[in-house]
Amino acid sequence: MTDRQPPPAFENRSEYEFDLNQSLRISGENSQYFLRGRVLDLANQLGPNRTPSRILDYGCGTGDTTAFLAETFPQADVIGFDPAEGAIRDARSHHGSDRVHFEFGAELPAGERFDLCYVNGVFHHIEPSKRGAVVRRIHDSLCVGGHFALMENNPWNIGARIIMSRIEFDRDAIPLSPREAERLLRDGGFECGKVRSLFFFPGPLAIFRFLEPSLARLPLGAQYYYLATKT
């Protein structure tokens, strides 16, 4: 994972959370709202017949999502992986358990195999020319039939672009469009499903959120993801 240099903010939980939540204020929500929304939508898309037993949270930061993945998939062991050593120390302190483990390093541990790899907001920090190699490494880490949930901020959504411009560790990021993400996945050997969009309506318009499931196939939400499969 040497292709992603962790921004300094990732090393300090309090600074990271403060900066993130201050920037998200214009959405009317905090980071927990988006974290839970992503994971719960993914669990719904996987359904009860595709329950993973080993999950990789690639680029886990301080581990909040790793812990919620373990809560959402209670039968799974979850490993959070990140190159930010300080973030991993913090994640172990706050979230480490018999089922939740954290690893720090430049590369994924050799020989590890997973049923699901969850990646949110990581690829826009990777130099575009190196993204394909990361996808291939994730492909190699998955069991046959395993899933790769690639989640990203949507550059086609003006709200997402405004929020990224306000977050210190995202200002120099290079967003990738849904089309670019799909191409990366297919070139990396994955069978790629349809794009799924999330978070169309900010807090002041929450009354309309009941419409979001019917809009999910339109790549216009603040975030999007692909649920790809290793065949």
pLDDT tens track for 17-44: 666 666 677 788 888 999 999 999 999 9
DSSP 28: T
Pairing of strands 77-82, 100-104: parallel
- Distance linking the first and last C-alpha atoms of the chain: 24
2 falls within a domain: no
131 falls within a domain: yes
178 falls within a domain: yes
Q: Transcribe 57-102 into DSSP letters.
A: EET-TTSHHHHHHHHHSTT-EEEEEES-HHHHHHHHHHH--SSEEE
Q: What is the mean pLDDT of residues 210-216?
A: 96
127 falls within a domain: yes
pLDDT tens track for 88-124: 999 999 999 999 999 998 788 777 899 999 999 999 9
Q: Output the domain CATH number for residue 25.
A: 3.40.50.150
For 46, the token pair is 């996987």
162: containing domain: 8-230
35 falls within a domain: yes
What number of residues does the chain have?
231
Query: At 131, is the secondary structure helix, strand, or coil?
Result: helix
170 falls within a domain: yes
Radius of gyration, CA atoms only, the chain: 16
Percentage of the chain with pLDDT > 90?
71
1 falls within a domain: no
Query: At 145, is the secondary structure helix, strand, or coil?
Result: strand
Cα separation, 59 vs 74, in Å, equals: 21
* Structural domains counted in the chain: 1
Element (DSSP H or E) covering residue 147: strand 142-153
Crossing angle for the helix pair 64-72 and 85-95, to the nearest 10 degrees: 40
C-alpha dihedral sign at 209, 213, 218, 224? positive
3 falls within a domain: no
Q: What is the mean pLDDT of residues 71-84?
A: 95
